[in-house]
A and B are shown apart, each in its own frame.
Chain A
Amino acid sequence: MPKDYQDIPGTYVMDGRHCRLGYQLNMFCLSLNEAANREAFRADEGAYLAQYPVTPAQRTAVLERDWLGMLQLGGNIYYTFKLAIFDGRSMQYVGAAMSGVTEDSFREMMIAGGRSVEGNRSKKEQARG
């Protein structure tokens, strides 16, 4: 059964399917809440990540900091943002990366009032033009 919220464009709702897909990826991200884990990850990202049974695609997305990819592979923004905090990145940096613009232009968009909801409500509406 398609869900009503699947019609919202550019949006990945954290439903049960998404949670199952990304559970291990998100729990890896969560581990970065602890300073000792941050140090271990900093010392050897690949070895640290190997402790978590993430998929090869999730592993690549983490190591390459593919923010949209992590989201598409089950990541949740509050969890993957732990990795951005680790990198010293802001939410605007991550938002820019996921929406395919530079951080400066994302910041300017926000100062100008943010992304408009007009034209961004519905995939069906977008398809009709």
Chain B
Amino acid sequence: MAKLICGVGTSHVPAIGAAIDNGKTQDAYWKPLFDGYQPARDWIKDNKPDVVIVVFNDHASAFSLKLIPTFIIGVAPEFKPADEGYGPRKVPTAQGDPDFAWHLAEHLILNEFDMTIANEMDIDHGCTVPLSIMFGEPEQWPCKIVPLCVNVIQYPAPTAKRCYDLGREIRNAVEAYGPDTKVAIFGTGGMSHQLQGERAGLVNADYDQNFLRMLTSDPEQLKTLSHVELMREAGTEGIELVMWLIMRGAMSLDAKEIYSFYHVPASNTGAGLIILED
């Protein structure tokens, strides 16, 4: 039987990927962040999943304003890194898991989460940066990947509660999957940041650190977060934190916190990371 082994919450700032790609992780600016990531990398090396569901948002790469699905699941055999305007990141093509991904899609839709199914999609920094953060720079990613995209660019994003509930149903879907498979789920994006407008540069470290604590101490309370609170307190792009709640919903209520880390700034963003063991 398949089993969820862990959930990871992490920011997916593109500049973190660029720091890795350009060999700058030991520069004074980046070293504290990558030092903070090391224990997470060590842990996942010893607790290797067979497949990771990466919850992220596409940033006008594979999808656009032309069509705006709220939840998309990638069922393809592979996912290439997207060209976001710089040329694609030089990271491995991710290998998908079509059997598992189709199982998830069918289970979720039959349980009233109306997923959009993607047979072809490139993955942008939203997906590849968390893989780099957790797995470094391997020739091939050490596990299969099921990308799950969430619209958080066009208002309104799905609510915190809807995301959390989707996570609960993902857990049910994993537990209903026959093959022995160790599954991890990454909830990515955030933490606080605002990229746009005269308020650009907003970071709210207190808010972020409280969010990290509540993921362990009172996750159900996070379901009540409203969009206006998230945008006001964590910035317009901080609304990406709803994607962490899909990860949290998929974990057991009493999941154990293995590691938590927070650092400001990564480019324009408060960068957080948490590992929860099921």
Contacts and interface: CB of A to CB of B under 8 A. Distances in A.
26 contacts: A5-B232, A8-B228, A9-B198, A11-B236, A13-B155, A14-B153, A14-B155, A15-B156, A26-B65, A27-B66, A33-B83, A76-B196, A78-B153, A78-B195, A82-B85, A91-B268, A92-B267, A94-B195, A99-B197, A99-B198, A106-B201, A113-B265, A114-B204, A114-B205, A114-B265, A116-B202
A129 B196 CA distance: 24
Interface stretch (A46-54, A58-66, A117-125): A117-125
A91 B267 contact: yes
B203 A115 contact: yes
Contacts of A96: 200
Contacts of A121: 232-233
Interface in B129-160: 153-156
Interface string B216-242: 000000000001100111001100000
A12 to B, nearest CB: 5
B15 interface: yes
Nearest to B266: A110
Given A8-B232, A79-B60, A115 B267 contact: no
Contact of B268 (A76, A114, A117): A114
A33 B86 CA distance: 8
B83 A117 contact: no
Contacts of B82: 33
A111 B65 contact: no
Nearest to A80: B196
Interface of A: 4-5, 8-16, 18-19, 23, 26-27, 29-30, 32-35, 38, 68, 71, 76-79, 81-82, 85-86, 90-92, 94-96, 98-100, 106, 109-111, 113-117, 120-122
Given A11-B236, A12-B197, A92 B268 contact: yes
Contact of A38 (B64, B85, B199): B85
Contacts of B85: 32-33, 38, 82, 85-86
B23 interface: no
A47 to B, nearest CB: 20
B201 A99 contact: yes
A114 B270 CA distance: 9
A18 B65 CA distance: 12
B70 to A, nearest CB: 14
A85 B196 contact: no
Nearest 10 interchain pairs by C-beta: A114-B203, A10-B198, A10-B199, A85-B85, A95-B200, A115-B201, A77-B196, A110-B265, A15-B155, A4-B228
Nearest to A8: B232
Contacts of A106: 200-201
Nearest to A85: B85
A86 B66 CA distance: 22
B194 to A, nearest CB: 7
A95 B66 CA distance: 26
Nearest to A95: B200
B188 to A, nearest CB: 15
B43 interface: no
Contacts of B65: 19, 23, 26-27, 30, 76, 79
B83 to A, nearest CB: 6
Given A27-B65, A78-B153, A114 B264 contact: yes
